[in-house]
Structure 1
Amino acid sequence: MAQEAATTQVAPAAGESLNPAPERRPVFVDRTADFGLTIGSGPVAWGDINNDGWPDLYAGGAVWINNLGMNGNTPPAFTRIAAPGNGLIADLNNDGIGDLVSISPIAIYIGHLGEDGMRFDKLALPELPETVCRGAVVGDFNNDGFLDVYFGGYENWEKQVTYPSFMLLSTQGAGFSLRIMTSEHRSRGVTACDFDEDGDLDIYVSNYRLQPNLLWVNDGSGDFSDKAEHFNVIATSEAFRGGHSIGACWGDFDNDGHFDLFAGNFAHVDSRGDQPKNRFLRSRGPTHGWTFEDLAECGVWYQESYASPACADFDNDTRLDLFFTTVYADASFGHKNYPVLYRNTSGDDAWSFADVTDGSGLEKLPPTYQAAWADVDGDGRLDLVTAGRLYMNVGTSDAQYLGVRLQGDGTTINKQAVGAQARIALPDGQILSRQVELGTGEGNANSPILHFGLGSFTGPVTVAILWPNGKTQSVVVPAVGRTIDVQYADESEDGWPE
């Protein structure tokens, strides 16, 4: 029997609702110009860079500071700060201020916040191998309390060169050491999850050129071995060793408490048969050794140029939905490719996803690798940045939600609590799980504030937390419809409550 976890009452945090709760079918409105944003076409990442409780955006050679918490709907909604590169926001030195992990070119910039505003200083790194990088993920991979970075190495097609993937391991926030991971695979997106709930982060790498995807399983000390075949997550089909994978996303799609995986495959027509298409990979949990069941497409219809997926419960009905980009501008086999919004319509016995793009405000978007979710204005409705635009979710209904912002102590647990998981058990038997992640799809990042759609359930709720060191904690939330802060507590218990 699991030990009783520490229980804490929590108070409201920054990011309280400004508007009513969301409707079940989302409606998105392009507010890019209204907010003065110029996002560009590179990777996009949400993160709270100035520690004010609101998600900021790193995109287009700039950090866009979110002023909606301070100004409401009064301009300026965002303030632009010039910033080098494109990539991820991460607090690498545990000082509470966001730093920048640039993917292209590879570099790290330490953020400083003073009376004169934000500035970013380039950090000296060890000599790095020549590489081309399309995706990276941030996490505390050796559980020392500081964040590390995994960069996926891609290719030079003309020269037929495969570039190495490598990890930068933090030296207690002062710098980084280099570890080469592999030189054999042409990697695109990289994402991480403690899928086996053992208290350490594992890494999933989407590989291109019909190469098998990798699942780097962490032994707890930061040493990894590829076990994709053992756990059945290569995401391929008969006659192929692997697919043209571009991006993947972790999420508990069936609300059983365990993290499943969606692997996105760019799939050409091939004389050997259809190349591997998109795969939903369902976690079978601890009773089956954490292996995955391949459920195939589950209603995600074929387009050749699918690219970067991002999952989120944007209609707040408790189930994770899916937005999936495409990258071909011209017709492919007679059909123009467009990004698609899929609603999770699964029942108890079968998974299914329905195309709800029509009428959503996301129809016929241009080709893009961008997809990242955040509750930008704190109204409980998840908003989407994609194709160089910010689409605000403006639907209205009485569906409930809870936002959870987890915070480590900066010593045992990294300040951003990256790698932590949270669960909410609902009275109808559903167990909703979310994780703090920095890296999804291909080079993008959703907001690290966890978002739980609760449907008609109004609370109270108990949030159970699995911290990256394997300790657990629970908090009682009397009222939903808000965002709460939860800090790591020293009295946390061992074991993940069932």
Structure 2
Amino acid sequence: IDMNRSQRTVLGGLNMPIDVVQAADGTIWLLEFARFAEDGSCFSGQGYLPNSGRLSYLQPDGTLQTVLVDLNFPGSFAFDRDGHLIVSEIFSGRVLKVTNPALLAPSTSVAKLLGEEIAPMGNETNEEAEVVASLVETAVSAPSAPPDIQFVNVAQQVGLDFQHRAFINAISEDPAAMMGAGLCWIDYNRDGWLDLYLVNSYALAEQEYLYSHGGLPYNRLYQNNQGVFTDVSLISGTALSVRGNGCIAADLNGDGWDDLYVTVDGPNALLWNQGNGTFLEGARLAGVDAPEWNSAASAGDLNGDGYADLFVAAYIDLEKMVENPVGAFPQDFYGLPDHLYLNNCDGTFSPVTEAVGLLREERGLGSLMSDFDNDGDLDLYIANDGHPNRMYLNEPATNSAGFQFVDVSQEAGTNDSGSGMGVAGGDYDNNGRFDLLVTNWDTELNALYRNQMDETGNLTFLYSTFRVGISGLGNNMTGWGTAWADFDHDADEDLLVVNGHVPITDLAADAELVRLYGNRLSEGEPGQLREWTQLVGLGQDGLGPLMARGSAVADYDNDGDLDVAINTVGGTAVLLQNQRLSGNWLQIATADFQPGLKAIVTLPDGRQLVRERHVGSSYLASEDPRLHFGLGNATLVSSVEIIWPNGTITQLTDVAANQTLVVYPK
């Protein structure tokens, strides 16, 4: 795309180009992933030829000069600070260094590239090009220091004895039971300690067995008693016996008490918090029961009236197959229309799905409300399974809702048609804009979208899965719950992804590792990640594989660092306690429910950290309502700017570290 936003062909006939980088001198470098066998296809993922990747640069005459051949499925490359090229290979796990590539590349005029055409489409590059680079390093460099955090599963010792009951007797082909297992953190009694709600399920084929062995399983609410949990499900009225999927905690009627909304294979449930330790179910009366197989839910004030509205993603109808099924799930089943409910401010909701422009029938699994374009209102992102993911911007309208959702998925570059499941939003590169991570199935990679909105408000995302220094971000694992969070308190957000295979044939054999990727921004490597899974106690000799689905990050023990709760299909709940050794922190809490609240923290060295309050994220989950900031060595924050959902701003200066700061709206 040239400066006039016109498309120009630069080079054609390439072998699956996967990354392109422009050097400081203007030279264009190109990385080709692989060639294919005659019957191969990038759509089926079959037929890749190993050791057929190439690294080349574009010469002034429009031809390619190949520098390195026989690369084994290269995924990304970048220049280091010394001007060397670093190339990562996905399946070998190697990182290769090409020394002094600038000496091999004549300067390429950018103006030349903006011409009509440099090389005609279809010209094959030179397979016999001379290899002129020297390969001097074939090992991944070790971290300068190991992370000073460890995760330990403390679920049993703190009283979390939850057992997800799907496939407790035998495995059956029940996709609804295979894909559930959500959870959410909620301070239901407002004592300052986050309680945990875990969603249960069962397979239809097991009903008779379960009835004869104690009855159907039910969701459970665990009260947090200063770090130790007590099951209060029965006395609180939250023990729903449903084929559950996910949940969110949100004050949906503005009474100051967080309620629970539970998505189900069947009518959803809305548990109104009565403020006395009990809940009352009222989804049908509120107009939000949604009778289909529903998955994710998100809440936020979309029309600026001060009350939280509700989005519910719908998945598929197992009774409605496509005309020519091919024996694949979920492709053999039609998707369902999602639901958007506008809060009437009186404990009821009005359906406005079609009125605001949500007209598609797709297989929704993940959702997130976030202000992606920084215009002060909440936008909506939906992760679809086998359909394009959708980015909807919130724009004013004269319809009954007062706003409309405008689909900018294609223009923004976030419309991949993978097996979208979980969604996480965060500013992992500290540029003040919220990026996206979408988890996918094991034959795909997780999708990382870097927000590159320009100063005019034009919203675009750069697909950056191959640009973060990880050889295959999520390869060979099926990702579900995910989060951006500063686990080590070095002032940048790390990446968590929990995994577990689907379809399930064996609960033990299909379990997969929880993976943690440390952010290298504080090491001077912006946009780069390093895998920490083994180093922090999550490897085979630590936590080990799980049949994980939902994950929810929170500081459950109020010690200032972030812990992780995980729900698993057919297994026990996991609570990963973060045993951090260093780093300062700040948490920001609000006196009432404020979805979409933003906070900007300025450190003494001038760096700015931005966080946003999300209600409904990860996979089938909602997380800690407090905004968390790792501060590194800083003991004092220069300033804190609170941007309230109604647009008003609160400014604070010289805020001490290592505290939970409670802020009040003006």
TM range (shorter): 0.7 to 0.9
- The percentage of aligned residue pairs carrying the same residue is 29
Partner of 1:172: 345
**Contact 1:243–1:267 (8 Å) recurs in 2:** no
**Contact 2:553–2:563 (8 Å) recurs in 1:** yes
Partner of 1:290: 459
Partner of 2:404: 223
For 1:193 and 1:101, the matched residues in 2 are separated by 19
Which runs of structure 2 are paired with 1:426-465 in the superposition (5 Å)?
426-465=603-642
**Contact 2:480–2:550 (8 Å) recurs in 1:** no
Counterpart selection for 1:396 from 562, 577, 581: 581
Counterpart selection for 2:250 from 90, 97, 114: 90
**Contact 2:379–2:394 (8 Å) recurs in 1:** yes
Pair 295,429 (structure 1): closer, same or farther in 2 beyond 3 Å: farther
Partner of 1:66: 224
Which runs of structure 2 are paired with 1:53-452 in the superposition (5 Å)?
53-60=192-199, 61-68=219-226, 76-82=228-234, 83=238, 84=240, 86-104=246-264, 105-114=267-276, 117-123=277-283, 124-126=285-287, 130-157=291-318, 159=320, 160-180=333-353, 181-209=358-386, 211-220=387-396, 221-234=402-415, 236=416, 242-268=417-443, 275=444, 277-287=445-455, 289-297=458-466, 298=468, 299=470, 300-328=473-501, 337-346=512-521, 348=524, 350-363=526-539, 364-386=544-566, 387=568, 388-397=573-582, 399-407=583-591, 415-452=592-629
Q: Which amino acid aligns with 1:294?
A: Y
For 2:653 and 2:288, the matched residues in 1 are separated by 48
For 1:40 and 1:94, the matched residues in 2 are separated by 33
Pair 173,147 (structure 1): closer, same or farther in 2 beyond 3 Å: farther
**Contact 2:512–2:545 (8 Å) recurs in 1:** no
Task: Give 3-state SS (helix, strand or coil) of 1:229's partner.
Answer: helix
Q: Which amino acid aligns with 1:372?
A: A
Q: How many residues align?
A: 435
Task: Give 3-state SS (helix, strand or coil) of 1:391's partner.
Answer: strand
Q: CA deviation at 1:350?
A: 4.4
Q: CA deviation at 1:194?
A: 0.8
For 2:609 and 2:147, the matched residues in 1 are separated by 17
Task: Give 3-state SS (helix, strand or coil) of 2:604's partner.
Answer: coil
Query: TM-score if structure 2 supplies the norm length?
Result: 0.62
Q: Which stretch shows the higher mean deviation, 423-432 or 193-202?
A: 423-432
Q: Give 5+ residue unaligned stretches, structure 2.
A: 1-145, 165-180, 200-218, 321-332, 397-401
Q: CA deviation at 1:378?
A: 0.9
**Contact 2:269–2:289 (8 Å) recurs in 1:** no
After superposition, the CA RMSD in angstroms is 2.3
**Contact 1:58–1:89 (8 Å) recurs in 2:** no
**Contact 2:394–2:403 (8 Å) recurs in 1:** yes
**Contact 1:373–1:383 (8 Å) recurs in 2:** yes
**Contact 2:601–2:637 (8 Å) recurs in 1:** no
Pair 376,461 (structure 1): closer, same or farther in 2 beyond 3 Å: farther
Pair 120,26 (structure 1): closer, same or farther in 2 beyond 3 Å: farther
**Contact 1:129–1:164 (8 Å) recurs in 2:** no
For 2:428 and 2:403, the matched residues in 1 are separated by 28
Q: Deviations over 1:279-319 (max 9, x none)?
A: 22112234262322221242125124222212211111111
Q: CA deviation at 1:474?
A: 1.4
Task: Give 3-state SS (helix, strand or coil) of 2:275's partner.
Answer: strand
Q: CA deviation at 1:79?
A: 4.5
Pair 158,93 (structure 1): closer, same or farther in 2 beyond 3 Å: closer
Q: Deviations over 1:259-285 (max 9, x none)?
A: 1111222253xxxxxx5x222211223
Pair 287,51 (structure 1): closer, same or farther in 2 beyond 3 Å: same
For 2:252 and 2:647, the matched residues in 1 are separated by 21
Q: Deviations over 1:443-477 (max 9, x none)?
A: 11110111100011110331111211222221235
Task: Give 3-state SS (helix, strand or coil) of 2:421's partner.
Answer: strand
Q: CA deviation at 1:391?
A: 1.3
For 2:279 and 2:162, the matched residues in 1 are separated by 20
Q: Which amino acid aligns with 1:351?
A: G
**Which structure exhibits the higher relative contact order, with contacts defined as CA atoms closer than 8 Å and separated by 6 or more residues?**
1
For 2:560 and 2:526, the matched residues in 1 are separated by 28
Q: Deviations over 1:24-72 (max 9, x none)?
A: 532112211112113444211112222222222111412222110xxxx
Q: Which amino acid aligns with 1:391?
A: L
Q: Which amino acid aligns with 2:602?
A: A
Task: Give 3-state SS (helix, strand or coil) of 1:478's partner.
Answer: strand
Q: Which amino acid aligns with 2:561?
A: R
Q: Deviations over 1:208-234 (max 9, x none)?
A: 02x110111111443212111122222
Q: Which amino acid aligns with 2:302?
A: F
Q: Deviations over 1:122-154 (max 9, x none)?
A: 241338654211111111111111111100010
Query: TM-score if structure 1 supplies the norm length?
Result: 0.82
Partner of 1:3: none
Task: Give 3-state SS (helix, strand or coil) of 1:182's partner.
Answer: coil
Q: CA deviation at 1:336?
A: 7.4
For 2:405 and 2:600, the matched residues in 1 are separated by 27
Larger Rg: 2
For 1:449 and 1:228, the matched residues in 2 are separated by 30
Task: Give 3-state SS (helix, strand or coil) of 1:265's partner.
Answer: coil
Pair 47,96 (structure 1): closer, same or farther in 2 beyond 3 Å: same
Task: Give 3-state SS (helix, strand or coil) of 2:152's partner.
Answer: strand
**Contact 2:638–2:653 (8 Å) recurs in 1:** yes
Partner of 1:412: none
For 2:155 and 2:298, the matched residues in 1 are separated by 27
**Contact 1:330–1:336 (8 Å) recurs in 2:** no
